[in-house]
Structure 1
Amino acid sequence: MSEHIVLIPKTPATHAHEGDFEWAFDEENIRATANTFYLSDWGTGEEPLWVFSGSIGEVVTDNYVGFLFMIPFLNEDHLERMYLLEDGLQAQYAYSIPPPPQYHTIRRHEADEATLSVKLDPGAGTAQATFDATFTIDGTQQSATGRFSLLRNYLASEPGRHTHAS
């Protein structure tokens, strides 16, 4: 389990709204109001990752809640497989917490365990997946399950144009 506090300067940000992202967490069913799917190296020069996220609220209004999944980029071929953390899957749950002045603050938890079963068609720009993940939050294990069907955000794939804050 890993947890991070992320400070985000108070500047405008956007999400793509193409597709559908739903989850059940802490006995509550949620449908994302913002989501995105893109290919990124996060500006690090490292190997690129496919990025999938869904959220409600906004970082800029300090009421953000969302999930982020990343898997290694293999190539632009159609992909259908299940990923676990040991396969390179990264799974995160993040939410706004009271910020210090001049910042927006989110608390981000990395999954203790996670599974992502994905059908990815880079040529068509589509991704469908189901997921489940377990997170330790304040010493308590909590589980999330969900699904998404997303359209690729090509603009977010450009260097310096990431639309997801966590």
Structure 2
Amino acid sequence: MSEHIVLIPKTSHSHTLKGNFEWVFDEGNFRATANTFYLSDWSMGDKPQWVFSGSIGQVVTDNYVGFLFMIPYINNEPLDRSYQLSDGLYATYSYSIPPPPQYHTVRQHKADSATLKVKLDPSAGTVEATFEATFTIDSTEKKATGQFNLLRDDLASEPGHHTHTS
């Protein structure tokens, strides 16, 4: 089990929906109201990472719930493969908890196990994926499953590019 508490300064910020990100977790079905897909300019090691996330609620209103996945950047060739934690997959589940004054607080759990099956086309800026992950939360193992179909953030904001929700 690995969890962290994240304190986030209170500022206004919002995300837009650029695709589809859905999951089943804790006996509920959810569809993200915000998501993101980008190539990081920071990394957890010495190489960039592809970042995919989906969430409902907002950190700034203390009702955030979301998943984050990261995989190592290899090159700009299309990618069709499965990742597990041992392959460099990073997977977390995060949610708002009651904060101290002047902060927003998010509790974050790293996956105990996870599989991400991904089809990524860097030149088109598209990704389709399915995932399964288990998390230990308050000594209870919970399983998440889901799928996403996203357009890379920097392309979604360019004129002439659009996304559709399936």
Do these two structures clear the TM 0.5 threshold for a shared fold by scoring above it?
A: yes
Distance 2:64 2:45 in 1: 28
After superposing the two structures, state which structure 1 stretch, 40-49 or 72-81, moved more: 40-49
* Residue segments in structure 2 that go unaligned for 5+ positions in a row: 156-166
Tell me the alpha carbon deviations over residues 78-129 of structure 1, each in whole angstroms, 9 at most, x when there is no partner. Answer: 0000000000000000000000000000000000000000000011010000
Distance 1:41 1:16 in 2: 20
> RMSD across aligned C-alpha pairs, in angstroms?
1.6
Q: Percent identity?
A: 71
Q: Give the match for residue 34 of structure 1.
A: 34
Q: Secondary structure at the match of 1:119?
A: strand
Q: Give the match for residue 46 of structure 2.
A: 46
Q: Give the match for residue 101 of structure 1.
A: 101
Query: TM-score, normalized by length of structure 2?
Result: 0.90
Task: In structure 2, give the amino acid aligned to 1:22.
Answer: E
Distance 1:148 1:34 in 2: 12
Q: Give the match for residue 19 of structure 1.
A: 19
Which aligned pairs between 1:54-69 and structure 2 lie closer than 5 A? 54-69=54-69
* Residue segments in structure 1 that go unaligned for 5+ positions in a row: 156-166
Q: Give the match for residue 141 of structure 2.
A: 141
Task: In structure 1, give the amino acid aligned to 2:76.
Answer: E
Distance 2:123 2:18 in 1: 16
Distance 1:28 1:70 in 2: 24
Total equivalences in the alignment: 156
Residue 5 of structure 2 is aligned to residue 2 of structure 1: no
Distance 1:130 1:16 in 2: 21
Query: In the alignment, is the contact (CA less than 8 A) between 1:16 and 1:153 conserved in 2?
Result: no
For residue 130 of structure 1, report the CA deviation from its aligned partner: 0.1
Residue 155 of structure 2 is aligned to residue 152 of structure 1: no
Q: Secondary structure at the match of 2:86?
A: helix
Q: Secondary structure at the match of 1:86?
A: helix
Distance 2:58 2:77 in 1: 33
Q: Secondary structure at the match of 1:154?
A: helix
